Amino acid sequence: MKNNNEMSTIVQCMLDSIDGIYVVDIYENSYRLCDGKGENGGKIKEIFGEQGSFSNMVDILTRHLYRNIKRPADYYEAYLKKIEKFKGQLGELNRVNGGDDFLWVQLNLCPYVNEGQYIITLSLLKNFEQVEIITAKERAQNIQGGYLFSMYVDADEARCHSISIPELDNGNASDNTMPYDEWRKNVMWMVEEDKRDEFIKISALEYLNTELRYRDSVSFECKMRNVEGEFLWVRIIFCRADDDESNHDFIYLVQNINHNSPMLVENAFKYEKLSMKDSLTGLYNRRKIEEIFAEIAEENAENEQSDTDDPGYEVSVVMIDIDHFKLVNDTYGHIVGDFALKKSAEMFEKAFSNTGMTVSRWGGEEFLVLARGYDSDSIYQLCEKLRKDIMQYEFEEGFSISCSFGIASTNKPEELPKLAEYADNALYEAKENGRNRVVVRQI
């Protein structure tokens, strides 16, 4: 057993290494200096003062997170250090604004006499210690690989707490937790509006418990607001952390991909646009038309569910087939055949696009026109004029072509999924009756 003199020496050495000792009362939102006689006590007192509100102390300790603004936006509070009914001890390094530069401070916290009271000791690190820490931080940043934030989610308790990347491996956990729903709501408001529904879906505990097995993950990319209120491109990741089916622990990560996302997004839009076009004619392809069909069906379904008696606007599909096109290929070759397809597409687009209708290549020598808000009689007149114009056009090789048309129109939302099929049936009827004609079906 150590004698009293030795213990006094140990305590004195410990006190000499501490530059500030504060007592905090979170219920009264206050702190006061008890001792500041360490080597750098004057600097600590200059930064924190002798007393003040505890929220102000937290603000000083977290100011480096949001640099050029006085306070982060409310939705960002989820990532600030919170001490709420804290149990146990806490030790961490913090950067504080020392006037000319940021300084590293070692913070230790432990419970005091009464509930809600804590002792906080602060030690300002020397210059060579700061260099070592900065070097270690750089190594840690390389390990983290651009991860901005990380949270540990306990689905059984519906609570979460912040972690650093190394904690993923060593199992360290903070007792400073918050309700998962509260944290999830905060994060939702940080995500760009168009992606919030997706975040709500994959962050739901029921979804995570059902969809993710051991070390499975789910992720998506979006823009997320930082503390300055600017949007950055990030990848949000949820992964299963436990290997026991009876436990439900997850890791939430936010990875910074902003440095290369503008180029990736630009390329993605370019390739997405190309993927919606037919390479030969430049018209929309079948994939794009099916997307538009789905949007129209959703709009009409919403109208049907509303209180209005309006049945919705009329939707029409025109199916066009170049008559005996195989004969063109067999007689003049595929190069001429391709030119005939491109020329036909130009004529179709000229006839319909000025009216706001959407023209597409459905496949082979078949084309589809999608019209909204036009009655079948108006569309019939357009098709009949186009049919005659096509017959009158003569290609350089000395041949002309004709086309058959099938039109189907409806204002009934339940019939929209079959509208292309109805138009195809009308086209079949036109071809069976001798081709080079227009057939209309009102659904």
Res 208 pLDDT > 60: yes
Q: Could you give the C-alpha distances from 144 to 45, 113, 139, 421, in angstroms and in order?
A: 34, 39, 9, 54
- The span from the CA of 387 to the CA of 430, in Å, is 12
269: which 2 tokens? 């839009």
Of 80, 34, 36, 28, nearest to 59 by C-alpha is 80
d(C-alpha 33, C-alpha 100), whole Å: 24
Quickly tell me which residue has 């760009």 as its tokens: 192
Which among 234, 230, 278, 228 has a CA at the least distance from the CA of 252? 234
At 174 the pLDDT is 46
Tell me what the mean pLDDT of segment 353-380 comes to. Answer: 91
Q: What is the helix (H) or strand (E) element at residue 91, kind and residue range? A: strand 90-97
pLDDT digits (tens, 9 = 90+) for 409-424: 998 888 888 999 999 9
Q: Which two three-digit tokens encode residue 419?
A: 């509208």
Dist CA 74 CA 3 (whole Å): 53
Q: How far apart are CA 139 and CA 290, in angstroms?
A: 50
Q: For the chain, what percent of residues have pLDDT higher than 70?
A: 70
Identify the bridge partners of residue 107 per DSSP, sorted by sequence position: 92, 122
pLDDT of residue 39: 60
**Is 90 exceeded by the pLDDT of residue 368?**
yes
Class of domain 145-262: alpha beta
Beta bridge partners of 320: 367, 405
Q: What are the respective helix, strand and coil percentages of the chain, to the nearest 5?
A: 45, 25, 30
Query: Under CATH, which number does the domain 276-442 receive?
Result: 3.30.70.270
Domains 4-142 and 145-262 share a fold: yes
Q: How far is the C-alpha of 407 from the C-alpha of 60, rounded, in Å? A: 71
Residue environment code for 268-284, b if the CB has 16+ CB neighbours within 10 A, otherwise e: eeeeeeeebbbeebebb
Q: In angstroms, rounded to a whole number, what is the distance separating the alpha carbons of residues 370 and 315? A: 8
Q: What is the pLDDT of residue 305?
A: 61
Mean pLDDT of 10-39: 78
Lowest mean pLDDT among 90-99, 129-138, 160-169, 303-312: 129-138
Q: What percent of the chain has pLDDT over 90?
A: 25
Give domain limits for the chain: 4-142, 145-262, 276-442
Class of the domain covering 4-142: alpha beta
Going by C-alpha positions, the residue among 169, 172, 171, 150 that lies closest to residue 160 is: 150
Convert the pLDDT of each residue in 325-343 to its tens digit.
Answer: 999 999 999 999 999 999 9
Residue 276 and residue 273: Cα distance in Å, rounded?
5
What per-residue confidence (pLDDT) applies to 241?
72
Residue pLDDT, tens place only, 42-55: 788 888 888 988 87
> What is the model's pLDDT at position 269?
55
Greater model confidence, 293 or 359: 359
